[in-house]
Amino acid sequence: MPLHPQWMDSGQIKRIRGVAYTSRVTPTVANRMLDAAKGMFLKFLTDVYFTVDNAKATSPGQEEGVAGAAANTPEEIGQEAASRLLEEIWRGGCVDAIAQPLLLTFMALAPTDVSKAVLGPLTPYTMHYLRHLRDFFHVTFKIDEYKEERIGEDDGSSLERRTGAAKLVLTCIGIGYSNIGKGQI
């Protein structure tokens, strides 16, 4: 693997795995959440598997249930979780929206070579973070639209394939940061 990040292929999703964590509620609540989420995922994939992790009350004074009234049913919570994951998949890119700044940091600190990554639409936080990288490390990123092409079936012409949201290619030259406190090998 090269020392400079080259994240140009996001791959294909073949299976979905998950765990539903609940605490101090009956296990049927978690099962209802799982059934709702699984129902949404089964529209797209057949290999979907979830497990339940139900923590029990540890002290004798704790009772089952939730403090206050729950605003959402377990089915609504499961559908919301599935919707958020499907939205991240639709956004595309090699990392999700939360990990965009971390990947950009790795690219900026990488050896002095070209680093590239395909990302989905940039979040407002990522845009501000790009400004911080420019101010602190003097690293600027070139941002281009990502065009994924495939060969046409009959005539051999290339057709543009759009899957999900518009994607971007971010390119930079790293600063070659190294940990001077670590001994050289």
Q: What is the 3-state secondary structure (H, E, C) of 141-159?
A: CEEEECCCEEECCCCCCEE
For residue range 84-97, list pLDDT tens digits in order.
Answer: 999 999 998 899 99
In CATH, 94-173 is 3.30.70: no
Average the pLDDT over 19-48 and give the result.
91
pTM for this prediction: 0.77
Average the pLDDT over 28-38 and give the result.
92
Confidence (pLDDT) at 151 = 46
Average the pLDDT over 98-110 and give the result.
95
Average the pLDDT over 44-48 and give the result.
92
- Cα 6 versus chain centre, distance: 17
| One fold for 16-91 and 94-173 | no
Does residue 1 carry a pLDDT above 70?
A: no
Confidence (pLDDT) at 157 = 47
Does residue 185 carry a pLDDT above 80?
A: no
174 and 139 in contact (C-beta within 8 Å)?
yes
For residue range 19-31, list pLDDT tens digits in order.
Answer: 988 888 888 999 9
For residue range 134-171, list pLDDT tens digits in order.
Answer: 999 999 999 999 987 654 444 444 444 556 889 999 99
**pLDDT tier at 61, thresholds 50, 70, 90:** low
Of 9, 73, 16, 25, nearest in space to 44 by CA? 16
Confidence (pLDDT) at 159 = 47
Domain ranges of the chain: 16-91, 94-173
Specify the CATH number for 16-91; select among 2.60.120.310, 3.30.360.20, 3.40.50.300, 3.40.50.720.
Answer: 3.30.360.20
Structure tokens at 79: 């559908």
Does residue 69 carry a pLDDT above 60?
A: no
C-alpha to C-alpha distances, 102 to 57, 82, 108, nearest whole angstrom:
37, 24, 10
